[in-house]
Amino acid sequence: MVGRFSAVLAGPDLVTRAGGRLGKADMHLHTLYSDGTASVQELLDHVEQRTDLDLIAVTDHERIDGAVRARELHAAGEYSFELVLGEEVTTRRGHVLALFISERIPALRPLPETLERIHDQGGIAIAAHPMAPLTPSLGTRSLLAAQSATDAHHRLDAIELMNPSAAGRGRRGERERLNREVLHLGAVGNSDAHVLDGVGTAWTWFPGASAADYRAAIEERTTRPDGRYWSNLHNLDVYRQQLIAKARHLRHTLRPTGEWR
């Protein structure tokens, strides 16, 4: 179980477009395809039945096959939210979320090359949990270098200002200030959930409800991050559930039984 959340972000400073609806997106979710603990099917059903999200993205580490599987299941089912393909790519400078992509982006490439590959596919690039001390993350220097690139293909599109995991907790004020004063990137919030209880604990508000609306809002800089930080208890529970999932991987390797992810 999630337990109690440790803090709540200051009241939502929302964009209000006259008479417009605001959508909720959580675009950073892990499944059993990487180090998450739920299958793609479990994730989709959880989002449908237990959250009010309008839009999600499956973003497993260094792979896109889980997201592709999610798209198949999503197309075959009746879901009231939209789904975008994604990947959390480890660059030589830290983690970057690639959204609206169709093919896997390789890991451990220089940041400008990764950003170019994402944009060449028509995708957008988001700095995941930037400036986090213990998780591979873009630091101030990398963020500044990317944003001073002359070619737009080598720049980021958005920055994750709200990430409720242990990785996203530190240096929040510093991150917000850097973006407000210097970077001027689209500001998003994502749960970075590795367990079902974490899904939708942080999100992005955007005018509209569809994936196209989300994308337009990133470009127009009208997104707003929101959410609540996880308690230490929840962080411990994530590790516990990840251990159970690893045992599930191992059992499957020893004796494969049907579709397990």
**Contacts with Zn ion, residue ranges (CB under 5 A):** 88, 95, 128, 192
Please report how close the Cβ of residue 128 comes to Zn ion at its closest, in angstroms.
5
Please report how close the Cβ of residue 193 comes to Zn ion at its closest, in angstroms.
8
Please report how close the Cβ of residue 167 comes to Zn ion at its closest, in angstroms.
6
Output the residue with the shortest Cβ distance to Zn ion: 95
Cβ nearer to Zn ion, comparing 59 with 222: 59
d(CA 216, CA 54): 15
Torsion of CA 43, 92, 225, 71, to 10 degrees: -30
d(CA 219, CA 197): 30
Please report how close the Cβ of residue 121 comes to Zn ion at its closest, in angstroms.
20
Q: How many helices (H) and strands (E) does the chain have?
A: 8, 10
Cβ nearer to Zn ion, comparing 51 with 59: 59
Burial classification of residue 11, based on how many CB atoms lie within 10 Å of its CB (0-12 exposed, 13-18 middle, 19 or more buried): exposed
In sequence order, the 6+-apart residues with CB closer than 8 A to the CB of 243 are none
Please report how close the Cβ of residue 129 comes to Zn ion at its closest, in angstroms.
6
Distances (CA, A) of 93 to 47, 111, 259: 32, 6, 35
Cβ nearer to Zn ion, comparing 164 with 207: 164
Cβ nearer to Zn ion, comparing 142 with 222: 142
Cβ-contact 24, 227 below 8 angstroms: no
Phi–psi pair at 76, nearest 5 degrees: -80, -20
Cβ nearer to Zn ion, comparing 187 with 209: 187
